[in-house]
Amino acid sequence: MPTKLEVRELSAWYGDRQALYDVSIDLTDRATTAIIGPSGCGKTTFLRCLNRLHEEAPGARVAGAIRLDGEDLGAADVVSVRCRVGMVFQKPNPFPNMSVFENVAAGLRLLGVRRREELDQGVAEALVHAGLWEEVEHQLDAPGSSLSGGQQQRLCIARALAVRPEVLLMDEPCSALDPIATAKVEALLARLKSEYAVVVVTHNLAQARRISDTTAFFYLGKVVEVGPTARLFGSPAEKLTENYVNGRFG
Amino acid sequence: MDADVGPATERRRSTDRRLRSLLRRGLAFRLGVTAVGVGLVVVFVGLVVLLVGGASASIARFGPGFLAGTAWDVPRGIFGAWPAVAGTLITSALALLLAVPVAFGVALFASEIAPRWLRAPLAYFVDLGAAVPSVVYGFWALVVLVPFLYGSVDPSLERLSGGAAPFASGSGETNVLAAGVVLAVMIIPTIAAISREALRAVPHELREGALGIGATRWEATRMAVLGPAAPGLVGAVVLGLGRAIGETIAVAFVIGNIYQVQGSLLARGSTIPSWLVNGFNESYGLGRSSLYELAAILLVISVVVNLGARVLVRRFERGARLRPRGARAPIAAPPPREPGTPLGTPAWFARHDAARSARLRRRHGVQLLVVVLAVGAVAVAAWPLVSLIDTAAVNGGAAIVRPSFYTSAPPPSCGIGQTSCPLGGIGPEIEGTLVMVGLAAAVALPLGILGGIYLSEYARRRFSRTVGLLVDVLLGVPTILIGIFVFSVFLAYDRPDDQSAFAGAAALGVLMMPIVVRATELALRSVPTSVREGALALGFPRHRVTLRVVLGSCRSALVTGCLLAVMRAAGETAALVLTAGTSLYWITDLRAPVGALAPFIYDALMVYTNSNYETDAWGAALVLLLMMAVVSLAARLAVRAPDAQGSV
Ligand SMILES: Nc1ncnc2c1ncn2[C@@H]1O[C@H](COP(=O)(O)OP(=O)(O)O)[C@@H](O)[C@H]1O
Ligand SMILES: [Mg+2]
């Protein structure tokens, strides 16, 4: 599979505080890459650099290069970058004053879609794609925030999918969910990876093993090791990785 | 064995005694805070009873026709409310129309656009603008704004409209338009401050959710922030409206005080509060009764606005915007998809995708436009405040650096144009302000805090909801009405001519109470339940938990609330003009009329018209401004400082 996102010597700062040090990774298309590591090691920061949300933080600064299909992200228009690289957050954040329908339609409206049939089709497809359609088919006009936590998270996934991104970033998408909702999102991830480059940050090592093809282990803002998931968990090259995946710290 | 039982029994007895005394004290505390809750109801009922009672003669004489009457003819004894009611509605509407876009622009800039280092100073200046006493705004308006409007704006409006109805040629500098503009200037900071907080309160994740699907910043604000902030924004506007409706002094300065309804904004006019403050002291008989009726009408208007606001805010909180626009035809389920088949791009999506870059340019253009408009709003809102501070500094600067300014009384009457006026000071006015605010604070702060405790900690029933509602209503009651209320109480129980320091202090106390109650209630509610439960679980009695632990852990919010209440009292004019009377001398008797800083400015312009107190008035204005600047800063810093943990 070709490389979708090429990250080269990426460093990131919050004011004087450096959160990432010279991170270089290739993220493969049509595959899931898991980012693991103890909390505070820069996973979220890394993910937020990939669609340039990092620059919204106070005092934020980056160095290095990220290329999407060979095109430099830093030079592209930030709004279209975020359209092409969708993001799902740790805590489900549907727009509280919008209905289920409007939540998914929001991105399409930004692209200029106005016609009723087009919006209907786009929203329905995204909801089906996110595996939510059967559950909300009859409550499209209910507030997005009235859904259960797991449904809200899938609504946020549908919201991101509606604008047809090429990359899907997910920051601990299941950490706020119960086991059943988590299983649904994981099943969804397994389907989505055949169409997108998926990058998932997770705290849960078992989950990383289940869902990812490649795993990257971060520690103190640096990439310690990247490799096929089975290999990284089975026979890690680095001592640090071995200690972490065997639960000796974290 | 007896020797063993003795001390144990003794210990048990003493524990019983302590428990009983604790219970007694807890009960007393509970009764005390409830009494304050009842007291608030009594104040409001008293306000209604005295206004309606005072109006009875007028109601009996004119009936409902009073509202439509257009005359205020003292010799013939014919009075009607319409010119003042219309003036109030027109000036308030005009103020709202001018202020809301500017205030929202300022709030948007301060919350969403400004670079981070600029946000705190900006918030400070907005707060300061909201804290500047209305008499200072009025003074500035009279000296700077009104001549400016008369020289540049009025003629262009006249020309543009060809002298047609709303802008027909007026009769001079002071007019309805000037009043509307002054009101707008005054309520912009109020609306902006609350709107900014409403925007800030929206969780950051929502903004990021919007940015994450490719929204520009403005689009993110529109999609994710405005909706959740809507109740707060509506509340801000209504609060601004309430302030405009009740504003007295600044309007009295610039509206011309003619009792007539005219078709032109460039004509002179009056509003209910300005007519009350101008005429109340000299009125008698049926004329005074009619003024009471005007006051009652003003009370009704302010209560209606207040209750209307509650309904409106509730509606927005429940998400009135969720209802779909028009009924939706059910969407057909899309055909089932093989897993792994991509979403694909239907023709319509491809079409929009192709137009993406052109559309993107337009969206960035809109973003830029919003930024430019918001910056423009900040500039428009900043001008009055900057000009006001500048004018006060230029005109009053020399006075306030002179020590005798604080230690001597205003100079004896000194005609305009006379060149060698002796230099005076505002010593008695400072004394009057300190004495009255001090007396008022000594009573209103403790009672207000108890009232706040009652609302937040003890009351759980319908009665407490009534009290809470009344506190809201009292917060919105124009201060001129509080002045009339207290004046009437003192009139009923004292010598008829009794305007005094006591009466002034009482008015300021009534004014401060609801502010302190609400601030305390909000501060207490912000203390997490776990703090209370933690202390209760250790076996501390309820009242001690409240007094020590809960109050202790929100001390800075409490201090801020009290400071703001004291500042409002120190800058108050309308209520004092009626209750404290006028005096240029040091206090010899608290039962005699007394001067104070803010009313002195009013008196210098409206009462001692043959004297030349303008410089001293500017000095007083500058002193007030400096006080507000320092206290606003202190309040801001207090909010930032972490609270020391309370101890039981
Ligand atoms: N908004 C911020 N401001 C300052 N420092 C931050 C901010 N967000 C994260 N950091 C710091 O950057 C480092 C990496 O954080 P993050 O990327 O959130 O870690 P993770 O997601 O792996 O837990 C941490 O040390 C954290 O304290
Ligand atoms: Mg994280």
With 50 as the cut, is the pLDDT of residue B320 above it?
A: no
Q: Are B581 and B64 in contact (CB under 8 A)?
A: no
Cα of B97 to ligand 1 centre, how many Å?
45
Ligand 1 atom, smallest distance to A47 CA: 17
pLDDT in tens, B413-430: 665 555 666 778 888 999
Q: Residues A119, A102, B350, CA angle at the centre, nearest 5°?
A: 30
Please tell me which residue, B541 or B517, carries the higher pLDDT value: B517
Single-letter amino acid, residue B523: A
Q: Are B590 and B435 in contact (CB under 8 A)?
A: yes
Name the residue in chain B with its Cα closest to that of A54.
Answer: B208
pLDDT, residue B322, reads 53
CB-CB under 8 Å, B227 with A98: yes
Ligand 1 atom, smallest distance to A201 CA: 21
With 70 as the cut, is the pLDDT of residue B220 above it?
A: yes
Tokens of B369: 């436009």
> The complex's ipTM?
0.94
CB-CB under 8 Å, A91 with B360: no
Comparing A124-133, B203-212, B420-429, B576-585, the range with the smallest average pLDDT is B420-429
pLDDT, residue B621, reads 94
CB-CB under 8 Å, A82 with B212: yes
Cα of B205 to ligand 1 centre, how many Å?
15
Q: Are A5 and A26 in contact (CB under 8 A)?
A: yes
CB-CB under 8 Å, B343 with A125: yes
pLDDT, residue B645, reads 40
3-state secondary structure string, B226-281?
HHHHHHHHHHHHHHHHHHHHHCCHHHHHHCECCCCCCCCCCCCECCHHHHHHHHCC
Residues of B in contact with A95 (CB under 8 A): 206, 209-210, 223-224, 227
* Secondary structure percentages of chain A, helix, strand, coil, to 5: 40, 30, 30
Residues in chain B: 648
**Residue whose tokens read 């035809």:** B329
Ligand 1 atom, smallest distance to A39 CA: 23
A167: enclosing H helix or E strand: strand A167-171
Task: Print burial letters for B616-639: b (CB count within 10 Å at least 16), e (below 16).
Answer: bbbbbbbbbbebbbebbeebeebe
Count of beta carbons in the 10 Å neighbourhood of residue A44: 19
User: d(Cα B136, Cα B624) in Å, to the nearest integer?
Assistant: 8
pLDDT in tens, B142-185: 999 999 998 888 888 888 877 666 777 666 788 899 999 999 99
CB-CB under 8 Å, B227 with A97: yes
Q: Are B180 and A76 in contact (CB under 8 A)?
A: no
Tokens of B280: 């109340």
Pocket test for ligand 1, best of A44, A170, A244 (most atoms within 8 A of CB): A44
With 90 as the cut, is the pLDDT of residue B456 above it?
A: no
Global pTM reads 0.90
Cα of B609 to ligand 2 centre, how many Å?
69
CB-CB under 8 Å, B352 with A111: yes
pLDDT in tens, B2-58: 445 566 677 777 777 777 777 777 788 888 888 888 889 999 999 999 999 999 999
CA distance A135 to chain B (A): 12
With 60 as the cut, is the pLDDT of residue B1 above it?
A: no
What value does the mean pLDDT of chain B take?
86
Comparing B10-14, B290-294, B334-338, B390-394, the range with the smallest average pLDDT is B334-338
CB-CB under 8 Å, A195 with B342: yes
pLDDT, residue B400, reads 87
Strand arrangement of the beta sheet that strand A222-228 belongs to:
A85-88, A167-171, A197-201, A31-36, A214-219, A222-228
CA distance A9 to chain B (A): 24
Mutate to test the interface with B, among A110, A152, A156 (most CBs of B within 10 A): A110
Nearest by CB to residue A143, choosing from B203, B319, B345, is B319
A202 lines ligand 1 (CB under 6 A): no
Residue ID of nearest Cα to ligand 1 atom 24: A40
User: d(Cα B472, Cα B41) in Å, to the nearest integer?
Assistant: 12
Nearest by CB to residue B322, choosing from A56, A81, A143, is A143
Residue pairs spanning A and B at CB distance below 8 A: 143
Low-confidence ranges of chain A (pLDDT < 70): 250
* pLDDT average, residue stretch B477-498: 84
pLDDT, residue A30, reads 92
Name the residue in chain A with its Cα closest to that of B202.
Answer: A96
* pLDDT average, residue stretch B523-533: 83
